C-alpha cells in the first residue's frame, strides 16, 4: 500500500515543517536537522488518498478474495490478493546477530569549538557547526523481541551524516570489551546466546556456556566487572555513558596524528535500576527503555550528551602500564583527562521503526577524513564484520542506498548494479581511469581520505604484545573505585549469575579468577554460593608494570549525578474515591513545574471523586502499571480513600517495591497509615527518601520531595535480602 511520496509535495505531512537546508554547518534549530529533511523524499502519508496496489492501481474491495461464485473457489488471477499476501510473506528480515533489540532517534551534534589543530574531521571544523546524527541504543545478547532491562552491555551507535561522508561511532555504554582479538568474537557470542540445544535462556548471561567461556578467558574479567555493576541495568538509555572503546587516530590537515578515545556523557546523569526492579519491569513493560526514549522525545525533553576526547600521543601510549591497542583496558582520566568537544541532542523520533531503526546499518569502517584506525586487533575484525553482516541482513551490497543509511554528502563512483539498486547511473562509463567521461569521477587526492602512513616493519605473526597478558589490574581498579553500595551490587550480581550455572567447577573457576581482582569480592561471592574460597587462578603474567592509578572516581556511577533534576521522572500518585483533592492539585502543579510526569494510579483507570466532589482521572491502574515502574510515589490523604487503598492487595506491593528499590515516598495525612501497613517503620527519621506531611502542607513539602526524587535512590535502606 503506497500513497504518493512526500517529494511530490502533494500529501507530505512534513511539508509544513521547518526542514533545514539539507546542508550541514547551519545554526542549531531544535526539532530539525538536515537528515530529517533529506528523508522527506521517501516519507509517505496516505491521508485523503485511496488504497492502491504497489503498481498504483486503486483497489475497489480490500475485504474479499476474487471467487468463481460467492461459495466458489478463489481465482489465481486475483493479483490484488496475491500481491498483498506475497508482500506480507516477506515482511521480516534477519535480525542482527548481536544488538538485535534496539531503539533509535534523530538529532544533531554541535561542536563547541574548532578542533582543527588535531583533526580535519568535518564535525569539528568550526565552533557551532551542526552535523545531523541518528543514534541507536541496544541490548547485545537478546533477540529482537526480548526485554529491555536484561543485565547486559548496551550498544551506543551514532551515525554522523557529515558533509564529508558518513562517520559511524559504534560504541557501547561500557568502555572496555570482553576480548582482545576479533578472532574470539564468534566464540564469545556463541557462549552468551541461548544454549543451542534448547534455545535458553533468552537475553541473559546467567547460564553455563557464558560463564564457562569467560572463566577460561581471564581477559574478559575487566568487562565482567562493568556488566555485573549497575551499569548492566541502566534506568534509561538517556542515562548512560557511551564509549568508542578502541583507540582511534585523529589526523589534521598537515597529516599529523594523535591517538584518541571517545566518551559520551549524559546530561541526564548516569542512573541505574536495581536488580529486583529490572527483573520485575521485564515482565510488566519489556519495552521500558524504548518507551522511555520515545516518550521523552515526544514530550520535548530532548536527551543530550557531551562528547569528550581523551587525546594522547604515541609516546605517552608507549609509557603506559597497559597497551592502548588492548580493548580490555581503559585510559584512566587521571592519566589523560577528557577534552569536551561538543554535544549531541536527540530531538526527533523515527517515523517508521522498520525503515529507520531496523534498517540502519552502522559500521566501524565508516570513517571520514580526519579520523583513522589504530592497530587494535579487535577493531580490525570489526572493520570487516559490519559491512559483511549487512549484506545478508539487508539483502545485498546496496544497503547504503536505503534512505536512513544514505549520506547527505553526494555519492559518485563506478560501483554498479546488485540487488535492489536504486541509483540510475547515467552514461556508458563505469570505470576509472577513463577518457570518455572526462576522467570523472576523479580521485580527490589529499582532499579525500588518506590513510595515516603508520610505519610497520615486523614479521607476520599470530600472537599478542606483552602488555596484553596483564588481565586483572584494571578490574581491581574498577572495583576499588566503586562506592560500598556499588560493590555490594557487583557481588550480588556475580552471586546471582553464578548461582544459575549448573556445573560447580565453572562457578569455582570464576570465583578463583575473582580472587585476583579482590579477595573481598571473591569471598563475598563464594559465601553467597556456599563454597569455600578457592585458590587464586594462576595469572598469565606476574611481572607486569604496576598500574599508574589505583582508584579513579570517574569509574563510579555516582560521579555523574546529572543536571536535569527530576525532569521526565515518573511519579505515581495513588487515588481512590474520596481522596484529598486540594493537596494533590498543589503537589501535582509543583511536580509538573519541575518537569516530572505525574500519573494518577487507581484500582482501575477512569474517574474518581475527590473529598470535595471534584473529579480526578486515573490514567493508570495498579494492575496495568505496578509500583516498580515509577521513580517515586505519593500516598494521598483522605480517610475514605486510604481505607479503600488499604483494602486493596496491590497497595502493599506498590509501597513495598518503592521501599525495597530505595525510591522516594511521600505520605500525606492519613496516607501515612499505608506506610505502616507495608511494614515501614514510622520513625525512620534518618531516611531522606521517606517524607511525611499533613495534606495542608503538600505545597510546602513539594521542594523537599523534588530534592529527594532528584537523588534518584536512597541507598541507606538498601537491603539484601529485603526487609520483611
Q: Could you list the residues that contact ligand HDD (CB under 6 A)?
A: 96-99, 102, 136, 138, 155, 157, 170-172, 177, 182, 185, 245, 327, 360-362, 378, 381-382, 385-386, 389-390
Helix residue ranges, H only, 198-356: 208-216, 221-228, 275-284, 288-298, 314-319
Cβ closer to ligand HDD: 182 or 625? Answer: 182
Cβ closer to ligand HDD: 171 or 626? Answer: 171
Nearest approach in angstroms of CB 144 to ligand HDD is 11
Cβ closer to ligand HDD: 331 or 642? Answer: 331
Find cell 466532589 and name the residue.
Answer: 613
CA 593 to chain centre: 28
Nearest approach in angstroms of CB 172 to ligand HDD is 4
Cβ closer to ligand HDD: 106 or 495? Answer: 106
On whether 479 is known to bind a ligand per the annotation, the reply is no
Buried residues in 448-470 as b, exposed as e (16+ CB within 10 A): eeeeeeeeeeeeeeeebeebbbb
Distance CA 379, CA 79 (A): 49
Q: Contact 346/301 with Cβ under 8 angstroms?
A: no
Cβ closer to ligand HDD: 346 or 634? Answer: 346
Nearest approach in angstroms of CB 102 to ligand HDD is 5
Cβ closer to ligand HDD: 170 or 525? Answer: 170
Nearest approach in angstroms of CB 34 to ligand HDD is 21
Buried residues in 521-538 as b, exposed as e (16+ CB within 10 A): bbbbbbebbeeebbebbe
Q: Contact 391/93 with Cβ under 8 angstroms?
A: no
The pair phi, psi for residue 553, each rounded to 5°, is -55, -30
Distance CA 48, CA 67 (A): 30
- Residue 601's SS3 state is strand
Cβ closer to ligand HDD: 157 or 250? Answer: 157
Which single residue brings its beta carbon nearest to ligand HDD? Answer: 155
Q: Pick from 245, 260, 257: which is nearest to 329 by CA?
A: 245
* Catalytic residue status for 198: no
Buried residues in 481-504 as b, exposed as e (16+ CB within 10 A): bbeebbbebbbbbbbbbbeebeee
On whether 393 is known to bind a ligand per the annotation, the reply is yes
On whether 386 is known to bind a ligand per the annotation, the reply is yes
Nearest approach in angstroms of CB 369 to ligand HDD is 23
On whether 713 is known to bind a ligand per the annotation, the reply is no
Per-residue CA distances from 641 to 384, 659, 716 (Å): 63, 21, 31
Nearest approach in angstroms of CB 378 to ligand HDD is 5
For residue 426, the number of C-alpha atoms closer than 13 Å in the C-beta half-sphere is 1
Helices then strands, each counted (H, E), the chain? 18, 18
* Catalytic residue status for 172: yes
- Choose the catalytic residue: 99, 271, 366, 489: 99
Q: What 8-state DSSP symbol labels residue 702?
A: H
Distance CA 255, CA 534 (A): 53
On whether 185 is known to bind a ligand per the annotation, the reply is yes
Nearest approach in angstroms of CB 361 to ligand HDD is 6
Cell of 516: 585476583
Q: What 8-state DSSP symbol labels residue 713?
A: -
- Choose the catalytic residue: 33, 166, 172, 347: 172
Distance CA 261, CA 392 (A): 31
Binding-site residue numbers for heme are: 96, 136, 185, 382, 386, 393
User: Which residue numbers belong to the known binding site?
Assistant: 96, 136, 185, 382, 386, 393
Q: Which residues are catalytic?
A: 99, 172
Amino acid at each position: 500500500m503506497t500513497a504518493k511520496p512526500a517529494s511530490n509535495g502533494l500529501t507530505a505531512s512534513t511539508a509544513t515543517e521547518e526542514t533545514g537546508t539539507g546542508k550541514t554547518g547551519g545554526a542549531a534549530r531544535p526539532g530539525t536537522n538536515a537528515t530529517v529533511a533529506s528523508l522527506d523524499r521517501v516519507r509517505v502519508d496516505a491521508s485523503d488518498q485511496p488504497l492502491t496496489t504497489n503498481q498504483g492501481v486503486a483497489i475497489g474491495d480490500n475485504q474479499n478474495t476474487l471467487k468463481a461464485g460467492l461459495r466458489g473457489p478463489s481465482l489465481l488471477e486475483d493479483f490484488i490478493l496475491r500481491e498483498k499476501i506475497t508482500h506480507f510473506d516477506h515482511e521480516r528480515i534477519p535480525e542482527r546477530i548481536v544488538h538485535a533489540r534496539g531503539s533509535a532517534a534523530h538529532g544533531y551534534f554541535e561542536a563547541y569549538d574548532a578542533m582543527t589543530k588535531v583533526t580535519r574531521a568535518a564535525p569539528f571544523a568550526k565552533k557551532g557547526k551542526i552535523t545531523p546524527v541518528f543514534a541507536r541504543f541496544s541490548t547485545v545478547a537478546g533477540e529482537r523481541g526480548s526485554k529491555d532491562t536484561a543485565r547486559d552491555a548496551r550498544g551506543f551507535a551514532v551515525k554522523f551524516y557529515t558533509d564529508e561522508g558518513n562517520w559511524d561511532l559504534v560504541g557501547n555504554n561500557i568502555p572496555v570489551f570482553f576480548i582482545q582479538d576479533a578472532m574470539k568474537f564468534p566464540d564469545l557470542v556463541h557462549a552468551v546466546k541461548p544454549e543451542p540445544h534448547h534455545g535458553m535462556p533468552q537475553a541473559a548471561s546467567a547460564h553455563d556456556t557464558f560463564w564457562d567461556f569467560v572463566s577460561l578467558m581471564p581477559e574478559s574479567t575487566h568487562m565482567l566487572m562493568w556488566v555485573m555493576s549497575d551499569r548492566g541495568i541502566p534506568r534509561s538509555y538517556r542515562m548512560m555513558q557511551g564509549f568508542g572503546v578502541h583507540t582511534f587516530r585523529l589526523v589534521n590537515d598537515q597529516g599529523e596524528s594523535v591517538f584518541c578515545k571517545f566518551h559520551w556523557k549524559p546530561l541526564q546523569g548516569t542512573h541505574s535500576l536495581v536488580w529486583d526492579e529490572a527483573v520485575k519491569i521485564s515482565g510488566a513493560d519489556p519495552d521500558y527503555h524504548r518507551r522511555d526514549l520515545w516518550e521523552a522525545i515526544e514530550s520535548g525533553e530532548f536527551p543530550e550528551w557531551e562528547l569528550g576526547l581523551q587525546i594522547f600521543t604515541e609516546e605517552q601510549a608507549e609509557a603506559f602500564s597497559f597497551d592502548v591497542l588492548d580493548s580490555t583496558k581503559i585510559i584512566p582520566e587521571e592519566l589523560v583527562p577528557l577534552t569536551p568537544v561538543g554535544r549531541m541532542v536527540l530531538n526527533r523520533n523515527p517515523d517508521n521503526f522498520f525503515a529507520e531503526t531496523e534498517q540502519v546499518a552502522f559500521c566501524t569502517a565508516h570513517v571520514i577524513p580526519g579520523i583513522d584506525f589504530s592497530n587494535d586487533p579487535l577493531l580490525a575484525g570489526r572493520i570487516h564484520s559490519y559491512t559483511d553482516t549487512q549484506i545478508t541482513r539487508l539483502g545485498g551490497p546496496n544497503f547504503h542506498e536505503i534512505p536512513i543509511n544514505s549520506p547527505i554528502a553526494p555519492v559518485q563512483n563506478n560501483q554498479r548494479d546488485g540487488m535492489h539498486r536504486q541509483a540510475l547511473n547515467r552514461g556508458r562509463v563505469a570505470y576509472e581511469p577513463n577518457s570518455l567521461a572526462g576522467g570523472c569521477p576523479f580521485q580527490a587526492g589529499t582532499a579525500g581520505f588518506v590513510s595515516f602512513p603508520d610505519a610497520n616493519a615486523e614479521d607476520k605473526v599470530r600472537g599478542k604484545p606483552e602488555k596484553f597478558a596483564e588481565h586483572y589490574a584494571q578490574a581491581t581498579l574498577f572495583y576499588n573505585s566503586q562506592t560500598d553500595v556499588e560493590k555490594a551490587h557487583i557481588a550480588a550480581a556475580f552471586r546471582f549469575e553464578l548461582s544459575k550455572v549448573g556445573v560447580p567447577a565453572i562457578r569455582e573457576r570464576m570465583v578463583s579468577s575473582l580472587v585476583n581482582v579482590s579477595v573481598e569480592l571473591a569471598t563475598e561471592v563464594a559465601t553467597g554460593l556456599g563454597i569455600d574460597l578457592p585458590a587464586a587462578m594462576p595469572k598469565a603474567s606476574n611481572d607486569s608494570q604496576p598500574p599508574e592509578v589505583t582508584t579513579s572516581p570517574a569509574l563510579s556511577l555516582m560521579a555523574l549525578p546529572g543536571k536535569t533534576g527530576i525532569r521526565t521522572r515518573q511519579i505515581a500518585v495513588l487515588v481512590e474515591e474520596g481522596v484529598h483533592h486540594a493537596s494533590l492539585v498543589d503537589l501535582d502543579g509543583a511536580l509538573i513545574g519541575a518537569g516530572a510526569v505525574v500519573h494518577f494510579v487507581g484500582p482501575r483507570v477512569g474517574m474518581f471523586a475527590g473529598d470535595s466532589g471534584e473529579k480526578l482521572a486515573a490514567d493508570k491502574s495498579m494492575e496495568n502499571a505496578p509500583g516498580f515502574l515509577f521513580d517515586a510515589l505519593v500516598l494521598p490523604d483522605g480517610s475514605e480513600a486510604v481505607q479503600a487503598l488499604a483494602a486493596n492487595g496491590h497497595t502493599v506491593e506498590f509501597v513495598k517495591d518503592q521501599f525495597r528499590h530505595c525510591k522516594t515516598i511521600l505520605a500525606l495525612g492519613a496516607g501515612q497509615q499505608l506506610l505502616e501497613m507495608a511494614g515501614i517503620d514510622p520513625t525512620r527519621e534518618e531516611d531522606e527518601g521517606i517524607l511525611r506531611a499533613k495534606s495542608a502542607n503538600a505545597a510546602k513539602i513539594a521542594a523537599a520531595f523534588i530534592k529527594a526524587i532528584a537523588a534518584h535512590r536512597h541507598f541507606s535502606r538498601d537491603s539484601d535480602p529485603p526487609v520483611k
